[in-house]
Amino acid sequence: MAMADKKYGNCDGKVAGKSQQGTLVEKEQVDTASTSWRIDLAKVDVWYASYGSNMWKPRFICYIQGGQAEGMIKACVGSMDKSPPKEIMWKTFPHRLLFGRETSMFWGVGGVAYTNPLTNLNDQTHMCLYRITLEQFNDLLFQENELNVDSDYPFFDLAALRLAEKEGSISLQTASDSLYGNVVCLGKEGVIPILTLTCTLSVVEKFKSGEIPIRPPAKAYANTLIRGLVKGGRFSIEEAEAYIDNAASKPL
């Protein structure tokens, strides 16, 4: 019995040792998967084009460094890489600005900004462009769509980037019905692609039909857009207010 007890004890110890080692190996594999895509995408730059609250830099920085800007009802966790944008510039694009949905995670009751993914030369939307890495762009995507930043896989990898450049836009399958489930490539600045986030065309049709409500922005949210436009030198306060009011009231 003593030998049996000893043998059982040794066997149990070996199994426990293997189990612990296996757990460590699995964890190491997960950690490697989680970091390897970040290393690759950190080497690639994109221009992220914002037409909503992220036009105001202090609010955009919350997505990078974490925190909560004035008017927000919830803090952002921030990106893994908290480096500030390498460059900032402004451009206008021939897309329709609109506001819709009932509520949002960061602003509460009221519509949030979208652009129609399709171009229309009669429309002009002002956008603030931030030069960031594709890794940071993924972390922004995670946060915009209420997903965990600490992911083992990217939301938008190099293959998706190339497809968006070729096709003009790409719908993110796991977020197609979320707030911002569509990545649109607006062209390039030099050799660097310009990407913006908006809804899918199917959501635009739901806005038109009334299935998803069109709503004006909450005051705090609208004020953030106005701050961004004024600080960016695009408009005076009065002009920025008129720009937002027109987008919110103009029929689709």
DSSP helix/strand/coil, 213: coil
pLDDT at 15: 34
For 67-76, write each residue's pLDDT tens digit.
999 999 999 9
Ranges of the chain whose pLDDT falls below 50: 1-31, 176
> Residue 82 is encoded by which pair of tokens?
């908290």
How crowded is residue 223: how many other Cβ atoms within 10 Å of its Cβ? Answer: 19
DSSP secondary structure string for all residues of 59-126 = HHHHHHH-B--TT-SS-B---SS-PPPSEEEEEEESEEEEEE-SEETTTEESBEEEEEEEE-TT--EE
CB 128 within 8 A of CB 50: yes
- Opening angle at CA 152, ends 146 and 158, nearest 5: 90
pLDDT at 49: 98
CB 129 within 8 A of CB 93: no
The contacts of residue 188 (CB under 8 Å, 6+ apart) are: 165, 194
Burial of 140 (0-12, 13-18, 19+ CB in 10 A): buried
Burial of 192 (0-12, 13-18, 19+ CB in 10 A): middle
Strands (E), the chain: 45-50, 87-93, 95-100, 103-104, 108-109, 112-119, 125-133, 169-171, 182-189, 192-198
Please give the single-letter amino acid code of residue 26: E
Question: In order of start, what are the domains of the chain with their CATH numbers?
Answer: 46-249 (3.10.490.10)
Cα 60 to Cα 26: distance, rounded to the nearest angstrom: 36
For 90-118, write each residue's pLDDT tens digit.
999 999 999 999 988 889 899 999 999 99
- Nearest C-alpha neighbor of 95 from the set 197, 167, 171: 197
β-bridge mates for residue 183, sequence order: 170, 197
